[in-house]
A and B are shown apart, each in its own frame.
Chain A
């Protein structure tokens, strides 16, 4: 009978959601990014040269398909058949077989996720999406001069444009470059420098090129132009996310 009582206790622990372990906010899967500065890639006339970035924690890797599966299990409104179109376009989780079946590659970054879904995931883990300033601080975009890439890089623009951890980060190593990533304030990217500009036409890639702080930084061009062309419901094949704290 003692045996049975113990089994019952175990069973109760398994059934009660409150006993499930909460995610450790600063575990081995996060890197502590020291305070630093962010130099906006696009100059704004009379704007600040550097923006201070406070110290924060950043996931070392993008969220995986397996992790996202756990999330949609617990939060049915974010399953592929349930999501409202405002929060995720029709390609949302397109490469999943079913609501709870991502197929293979559970350790690979989840993609085809919208900004809303990425935000909801991070919030469910008591975290948030990193801002552009934070992301750029951690990815060390200012730490090297990037010249136009040789042909072989063009084949994988993501790996080329997203692959530079800042040199002053402590371990563990930050893994970047597998996918594009959502930022909390993605829609603050690449706006025109004039408040009186009309519409979005003037904020297209080439139109803003003259404002680039470093015209050789082709990688930053790619990142900024991608972000500025996104909308919150977009779900793209190579766009994932990670969380910050």
Chain B
């Protein structure tokens, strides 16, 4: 092979290799993305259950928020040493729990998320459950400060450390639908029965939707 031929051949080799590497990178890239999007596909774009943060329950079990799927979740942010609104809110929700119509009761759960990662260990939360007589329909969660910052930032809940080991904070009740989207928020002092009406209306809407889709199936 003459000098020019060798030169052309080496250029050819380089170009082929480059193209191969680019194609391979592109393929592995799109493949990885495809996998992520398919595992996330069924979730609504606004679902809180997209948050990947790790939490611990009062039974010291690790939990991702998406494990709360399948029920309406009534969410309250609190800390166990709160001497202000938090215990009142929890008590009000407990009272609400006793007044729920059976159909709503069956599809509704409660979540109390601590904003005090330093003091509210799973053990402390477990004690809190006993003290407040919270039944198995309540999930009690504690996480690290970033997890708390993230979920509060999404819910629009403001808080900061305050004097006497207390937090100054909003008082807020949020309702998530079974897929994790916020369908209702209200200040703690508002009428808790609104929550029942909102969940009932949402259930009805879903029932209508699935009825309509089964009719369409039948027609086909």
A→B interface (CB under 8 Å): 1, 3-4, 7-8, 11, 15, 44-48, 76-77, 84-87, 115, 184-201, 203, 228, 231-233
Contact = CB atoms under 8 A, between A and B. Distances in A.
B162 A4 contact: no
Interface in B5-24: 6, 10-11, 13-14, 17-18, 21-22
Secondary structure of the B contact surface, majority rule: mixed
A84 to B, nearest CB: 5
A85 B187 contact: no
Contact of B187 (A187, A190, A191, A200): A200
A195 B14 contact: no
B166 interface: yes
A199 B18 contact: no
Contacts of B162: 44, 47, 193, 195
B188 A86 contact: no
Contacts of A191: 158-160, 168-170
Give the top 5 A-B pairs by smallest Cβ distance, nearest first: A199-B187, A195-B84, A4-B10, A232-B153, A188-B160
Nearest to A4: B10
Given A11-B18, A200-B170, A232-B150, A85 B84 contact: no
28 contacts: A3-B10, A4-B10, A7-B10, A7-B14, A47-B163, A77-B36, A86-B45, A86-B48, A187-B152, A187-B153, A187-B157, A187-B158, A191-B159, A192-B168, A193-B162, A195-B82, A195-B83, A195-B162, A195-B166, A195-B167, A195-B168, A196-B84, A197-B170, A198-B85, A198-B187, A203-B170, A232-B150, A232-B154
Interface string B153-195: 1101111101110111111100000000000001111100000
B154 A233 contact: yes
Interface of B: 6, 10-11, 13-14, 17-18, 21-22, 25, 33, 36, 45-48, 50-51, 82-85, 149-150, 152-154, 156-160, 162-164, 166-172, 186-190
Nearest to A231: B156
B172 to A, nearest CB: 7
Given A188-B160, A231-B156, A196 B85 contact: yes
Contacts of B6: 1
Most buried by B among A77, A85, A193: A85
Secondary structure of the A contact surface, majority rule: loop
Contact of B158 (A3, A7, A228): A228
A198 B172 CA distance: 8
Nearest to B180: A86
Nearest to A85: B45
Given A15-B25, A228-B158, A44 B84 contact: no
Nearest to B172: A199
Given A8-B14, A15-B21, A188-B160, 17 more contacts: A1-B10, A4-B13, A11-B14, A15-B18, A46-B163, A48-B163, A84-B50, A85-B46, A86-B46, A86-B48, A189-B160, A191-B169, A195-B83, A195-B84, A195-B169, A197-B171, A198-B188
A68 to B, nearest CB: 19
Given A45-B163, A47-B162, A86-B50, A198 B171 contact: yes
A124 to B, nearest CB: 15
Contacts of A231: 153-154, 156
B171 to A, nearest CB: 6
